[in-house]
Structure 1
Amino acid sequence: MLIHPWDAARDDAEWQRWLAGHDFGQLAVNGGPGEPPLVQPLHFAYQSTRSTQSTRSTSDGGTLGSVLAHLARPNPLWPALDAAPEVLLSVVDDYVFVPGPWQAPEDTPPEHGVPTSLYAAVQLRCTAHIVDGPEEKAALLRAQMDHFQPEGGSAPVTAGEAPYGRLLSGIRGLRLEVTDVRAKFKYAGHRTDAVRQRIAEGLAARGGPRDASARDLQLRRGATAP
């Protein structure tokens, strides 16, 4: 993923804050020799373990957090993970199409403007650890439930106890140790204030899917541009 300086995350807090509200992505796992990667859409819970100062991998062997997920036991990813536990979790959202006239410089005819896409993307490079013990799987699922269903309302997940205990054998857990992060927020950061304002006004007027969230991100990043 190409990341221009004006599209890069300002710091780890920016991508971590965005990722906290985007917990569905695609897990890419290396396929066998001569085979393409395997890609699995999945919900996940990201857990930050410490604050860092850059989006590069840590040099002291530490991590940038962990990701918790689970998949059905028959999933074809398991043999691939055993063979190559280095994986990539990709999350993309808040994407919109920007028509060319919105991007035209002030001294250029509107019809000469170049259309583009705006989007946010976070890629987590991880080392995958498979969780198979009943107690460990139950703890992982409780952590996921705390994330996705904090209001409660469901029975606790306890190994060997109803209603979920007997179902644990049908899944395997995944703990992904995050070792590197690449984050991109492509929201016209290299354009002039006037062009960015025109894009924001266009998104507000159009009011399509994700237009409001993309506009909020563009305005927030414009306000903190270096």
Structure 2
Amino acid sequence: MYLPRSFREDEPARIQAAILDYPFAQLVTFGEGGISATPLPLMLDADAGPQGSLIGHLARANSQWKTADAAVEALAIFSGPQGYITPSWYETKRETGRVVPTWNYVSIQVRGRLSFHEDPETLLDIVTRLTERHEAGRAAPWAVADAPANFIASQLRAIIGLRLEITAISAKWKMSQNRTEADRAGVVEGLRAEGSTAAEAVADAVAAAMARD
């Protein structure tokens, strides 16, 4: 990933929080037949391995778990807040007109050694942990144990568990850090005026970047 210094993020807690908030990733592998990619939710286990691990599962019918070359590192790509930035929001437009549109976004690329797991105990642990994570905070959270045991067993037979032991993380927060303070303030104001949840998330990220500088 192209990573200019002004957009580079190295703070582990901030990166982990983004993976927690935006867990839907693209899992990319190389192997028989070339490159494969699967969209799926992944969960960070920060204590599993020197740099942590990602856990999740694939459908057994998805051939990626059979074709991925274990000798080649896999890549998980997470996308955070993102959105179009019009130059009309920049103070510089009014001053010089020397501006162009851009796109603000958060992207996290996680590389690591990928392994797949078929044993029922490991699969049950993975789906239980994923469920507890995403049901947390709900008024009436659903639990794996709410379903009949024989039904859960049949569902587990239809999936393959995965663990990606992390070897490297690259994180990019492109949130107008290369613009003047006045331009950045205009971006925040313009995004908030859009009124959408997505625009608000980008505005919050731009404002947070401003507060850190």
Establish whether TM, by shorter chain, passes 0.5: yes
In the superposition, relative to structure 1, how do residues 114 and 167 fare at CA in structure 2: closer, same or farther (>3 Å)? same
Percent identity (aligned): 26
Is the Cα contact below 8 Å between 2:126 and 2:161 reproduced in 1?
A: yes
Post-superposition offset of 1:210 = 1.1
More displaced stretch, 114-123 vs 141-150: 141-150
Q: CA RMSD in A?
A: 2.3
Residue segments in structure 1 that go unaligned for 5+ positions in a row? 51-61
In the superposition, relative to structure 1, how do residues 154 and 107 fare at CA in structure 2: closer, same or farther (>3 Å)? closer
What are the superposed Cα offsets for residues 142-198 of structure 1, whole Å, 9 maximum, x if unpaired? 11111112353234289x932301222211100111111000000011211111001
Q: 1:203 aligns with which of 167, 178, 191?
A: 191
SS in 2 for 1:156: helix
SS in 1 for 2:156: helix
SS in 2 for 1:223: helix
In the superposition, relative to structure 1, how do residues 157 and 140 fare at CA in structure 2: closer, same or farther (>3 Å)? farther
Amino acid aligned to 2:84: F
- The number of equivalent residue pairs is 210
Does residue 168 in structure 1 map to residue 156 in structure 2? yes
Equivalent residue for 2:143?
154
Equivalent residue for 1:177?
165
Equivalent residue for 1:37?
35
Residue segments in structure 2 that go unaligned for 5+ positions in a row? none
More displaced stretch, 93-102 vs 171-180: 93-102
Equivalent residue for 2:212?
224
Post-superposition offset of 1:141 = 1.3
Amino acid aligned to 1:77: Q
In the superposition, relative to structure 1, how do residues 21 and 84 fare at CA in structure 2: closer, same or farther (>3 Å)? same
SS in 1 for 2:47: coil
Equivalent residue for 1:135?
121
Equivalent residue for 1:17?
17
What are the superposed Cα offsets for residues 98-132 of structure 1, whole Å, 9 maximum, x if unpaired? 1123246277434x321100000111102111111
In the superposition, relative to structure 1, how do residues 81 and 170 fare at CA in structure 2: closer, same or farther (>3 Å)? same
What are the superposed Cα offsets for residues 54-89 of structure 1, whole Å, 9 maximum, x if unpaired? xxxxxxxx5321111111111110122255452000
Amino acid aligned to 2:212: T
Q: TM-score, normalised by structure 1?
A: 0.84
Structure 2 distance, partners of 1:68, 1:5, is 30
Amino acid aligned to 1:205: A
In the superposition, relative to structure 1, how do residues 179 and 165 fare at CA in structure 2: closer, same or farther (>3 Å)? same
Q: 2:46 aligns with which of 41, 48, 70?
A: 48
Amino acid aligned to 2:110: L
In the superposition, relative to structure 1, how do residues 166 and 106 fare at CA in structure 2: closer, same or farther (>3 Å)? closer
Is the Cα contact below 8 Å between 2:18 and 2:80 reproduced in 1?
A: no
